[in-house]
Every structure is written in C-alpha cells, then in structure tokens.
A and B are shown apart, each in its own frame.
Chain A
Amino acid sequence: MKKTILVITGLLVTVAVLFVNATDANVNGYDVGDYAKDFSLKNIDGKTVSLADYSSAKGFIVIFTCNTCPYAKAYEQRIIELDKKYASKGFPVIAINPNDVSKQPDDSMEKMAERAKDKGYTFPYLRDDSQEITKAYGATKTPHVYLLNKEASDKYKVEYIGAIDDSPREASDAKEKYVEDAIDALLSGKKPAVTSKRAIGCTIKWKDA
C-alpha cells in the first residue's frame, strides 16, 4: 500500500515537473544569458535561412517584425540601417515575421517580398509559419529584438532583448540607441551595459490554438 502511494506520488511529481517545465519554456522564452536555438525558416526568395549559414558572423540582430504594425513600420528604416552598419562588422539583421496570415493577410510571403523589394531590404525576411521559433524565443510583439553573440558554432548567447532605441516616432530624437550600444560593446569585447529595454509594440497575431 505504502509502496503504491509512493509510486503514485512520484509519478504525479514527475508529471507536474514536466508540465511546469514545458509551460515555462513556452511562456517565458529566452532571458538574457540564455542560448538561443538555430532555426530553418523560409525567406522571401523561397530559400531557407539558418544562423549556421553565416559561418563568418560574430552574432545576429534577430528582429521579430512585420509589414503591418505601425511601430514596426516606424522602425523599418532604422532596421535597414542597422544591417547596413553592422552586417559588415559581423552582426547581420535577420528579420522574422511571426504573424498568422489568416489573421493578418498583409503579412503573407508575397506581401513581405513586395515590401522588401520596395524598401530595398539587404537582409533576409523570414516567415515563422508554425510560430515555434517565435514562441521558443519568447517574442510577444513587433518589433522585438534579440541580439545574439556567437560564442562558437551553434552557441548563440542572448545578450540583449527589447527595443531598438528610445524613440519609436522619430529616429532623430533617439537619445539612447540600445541595440547599437550593445553591439558596439560586444565588438570591443565588453558586456553590453543595458541588456533589456521595454517598448510598446503590436501583439503578435497568434494562430488559433
């Protein structure tokens, strides 16, 4: 009898622990200091892109963004400029559109390709159709930046999470350029002083469960 109770209790605890861990990973995503997983997502040109494709990169500016959110649009030019400034220094931009197309038709692959062409994107613009990568990272809104430092092959440490700078409306009014400051620190072998800053954005359009 005692044994049965022990076994049952043991099982319940195991199940509970597994469950808690599973939901934890889903809800919270990455914190600064965690290692981010690589992905294989389709680009607007039909090819698949992974972080592993960039053998000479020192890190990545992964940005969850979209065609439709006014905040994402306000930051679009600044995202293009981040890539122009930092891709050659080893930190390219990888843009990921997480929005469910049935909820937001203007975020379809075709519309993404149009937008990228019109604006002259110099970086991949990927779709996370399953939304698994978005959930693994813990992105909740567009735009939402994850700055990764490549410590070794397949070791991508999250160094900064959050906003691009402190002025969504006007690029020229920005007093603090969080992402640029963090990359500059990494490039000079230092730890970023600011590792997370929150900003307003549009909720990711999740698929119906």
Chain B
Amino acid sequence: MFYWNNATSKLSKHFYATFVFTYMRTVLVLSLLSIASLTNAQDIELISVESLDRLIAKKSDKVQVYNFWASWCGPCVKEMPYFEELNSSKSADVVFISLDFPEDIQKAQKLITKKSIESATYLLNSTNYDDYIPKISEAWSGAIPATLFISPSGKKYFYEKAFEKSELLQVVENLSSK
C-alpha cells in the first residue's frame, strides 16, 4: 500500500511537470514567433575564419559584398543602410561581418535588429587579428569600415573606407560586368 501511494504521487508529479513544461514551451514559442513577426532582422551567427574563407570563395552571378563593421564604429553603422539596400534591391549579395568582440555579440545583434538588417550577418569568432586581416586582403591595415567586393568573375576589390550611397552604387555597377 505504502509502495503504491508513493508511486501514484511520483506519477502525478511527473504529469504535472510535463504539463508545466509543455505550457511554458508554448508560451516561449508563441512569444518568439511574435517577436519574429515584428522584424525580419537576422540572427547573428558566430563564424570561424575558415568558414569565412569558404564563404568568400563561393561563386555568384551577382557582385558579392562583404562589409566589415562593429557596433562601436560610427561610420560603419552610418553606411549599413546603403549596403542593406543593395541586398534588398537584389543588386548584390551582401554579407555583414561584425568585428565586435565575440563576447559582445548581443551589442551587434541589437544594432542588426534596430536597423532591421535582413542581409546575412555574422560575427567573426577570432581575435587573432594579424592572422585573419591579411587573409581577407593584403591591402587591409585593419581599419574599419572596410569592404571586400567580389565581381561575378571572381575578382576581388578591397576598400578600407566609409562609403557614401552614390559611390557604393557606382562601385557595384562597375563591378557587375567584371
């Protein structure tokens, strides 16, 4: 009898726990869905130097644009909408690479959400600057903003500077046929 009682109470505890868990999960999923429907902003993913290398090596019919930025960099944040527009108008494949410290990913995410960035977004998971900077471009001294353009034929063009909108459109137009 004693044994039986104990088992029932264990069983009901189990049911209760399952119920609470399911309920909480539903609430969580619903609230996440409602946040997602407010904005289509991307979730920033950490990316390794090797994966970024592979991403850059990928072929495309369009100009590929890799913009290097950080949430603390004023001129970077200012030029982001110009790049986002290139992506939404489908004139280029745009990828934002944040160089915020990996532990500051939330700061980068906040900006991406605030600016409603829908282009692909990553945070480079490395602080071994002298290793990755020359891999992206020998011409890069490490200043940001910096942008790597890859023409449809695979030629690389690197700019260590902030862009004005018209200038950026011009560069992409010029490279589209290269």
Contact = CB atoms under 8 A, between A and B. Distances in A.
Interface in A140-166: 140-141, 144, 162-163, 166
A169 interface: yes
Interface residues of B, number: 22
Interface stretch (B23-31, B49-57, B127-135, B166-174): B127-135
B16 to A, nearest CB: 47
A127 B135 CA distance: 33
Contact of B99 (A140, A163, A200, A203): A200
Contacts of A197: 129-130
A144 B142 CA distance: 10
Contacts of B161: 203
Contacts of A70: 72-73
Contacts, number: 59
B141 interface: yes
B5 to A, nearest CB: 58
A167 B127 contact: yes
B75 interface: yes
B162 interface: yes
A192 interface: no
Interface class of chain B by DSSP: loop
A163 B130 contact: yes
Interface size class of A (residues with CB under 8 A): 10 to 19
Interface in A83-110: none
Given A163-B129, A163-B130, A167-B127, A199 B72 contact: no
Contact of B142 (A166, A167, A169, A198): A198
Given A70-B72, A198-B129, A203 B134 contact: no
B41 interface: no
B42 to A, nearest CB: 22
Interface class of chain A by DSSP: loop
B101 A199 contact: no
Residue of B101, B129, B144 most packed against chain A (CB within 10 A): B129
B143 A204 contact: yes
Contact of B134 (A144, A166, A167, A198): A198
A202 interface: yes
B130 A169 contact: no
A167 B129 CA distance: 9
A198 B133 contact: yes
A144 B141 CA distance: 10
B160 A199 contact: no
CB-CB nearest 4 A-B residue pairs: A141-B143, A203-B143, A140-B141, A70-B72
Interface of A: 70, 140-141, 144, 162-163, 166-169, 197-205
8 contacts: A70-B73, A140-B160, A169-B127, A199-B133, A200-B144, A203-B75, A203-B143, A203-B144
